Amino acid sequence: MTLKENQLKNYNLDVHDLGITEYDSVWSKMKNYSRTRNTNSSDLIWFTEHHAIYTLGQNGKDEHIINPGKIKILKVDRGGQVTYHGPGQIMMYILMDIKRIELNIRQLISVLEESIINLLSEYNVKAHRKENAPGVYVNSKKIASIGLRITRGCSYHGLALNHNTDLKPFTGINTCGYKNLDIINISDLGIDENKSTIQIKLEYYFKKNIFDIKSHSA
């Protein structure tokens, strides 16, 4: 059964804040939920922050890991190249049956990007996408990365939004496969907002943008 427009207005996502977690544990839970879910399973948003780790996506190349130091490197099953996760970075994992709501992966990426752009616009910050380089940028600096996995028509993984994280570990890699890519935090933009408020706004815009994209494609 797919969700019609009137249902989408009342579409509920189960949202959980997992606190600070180990990447490996959350990844394992995402995979397990996605493999065992059925047509009646809830769609979920998991917010979390991770202890310091580099993750290398399916397209990742070891040559982009320059100087990892003592930070763990983990090869994972999301799309994309190498990136860093650590405290102060908001992870928003999307465990969603996109087939059920008739959404494709490109639309889901667009919804995620637009949600961050909408969020930053509330603080008079103009953010944008880049063609063939998923994520969100402020001027030339990347503020959010996106990497997804689709299995049996269902998504997992999601986005990483730099709130007030230590940016030094990004210098140990070619982030997302690009040399000398500048990275920025929300806090660097003069935005003094707590994590909970940002997460609430991301959830709101995510749901709104799903409805908007479905309305426009109807």
Positions of the chain with pLDDT under 50: 1-3
Q: Tell me, what's the pLDDT at 7?
A: 55
- Sequence-separated (6 or more) residues with CB below 8 Å from residue 137: 127, 128, 129, 130, 143
- Structural domain containing residue 102: 5-217
Rounded to an integer, what distance in angstroms lies between the CA atom of residue 95 and that of residue 59?
21
Query: What's the structural domain count of the chain?
Result: 1
Q: Tell me, what's the pLDDT at 41?
A: 95
Q: Tell me, what's the pLDDT at 1?
A: 37
What pTM, to 2 d.p., does this model score?
Answer: 0.93
Interval 161-218: pLDDT, tens: 999 999 999 999 999 999 999 999 999 999 999 999 999 999 999 999 998 886 766 5
Helix, strand or coil for residue 165? coil
Q: Tell me, what's the pLDDT at 132?
A: 84
List, by residue number, the catalytic residues.
176
| CATH code of the domain containing 202 | 3.30.930.10
Q: Tell me, what's the pLDDT at 2?
A: 47
Rounded to an integer, what distance in angstroms lies between the CA atom of residue 160 and that of residue 135?
9
**Strand (E) or helix (H) holding 7:** helix 5-9
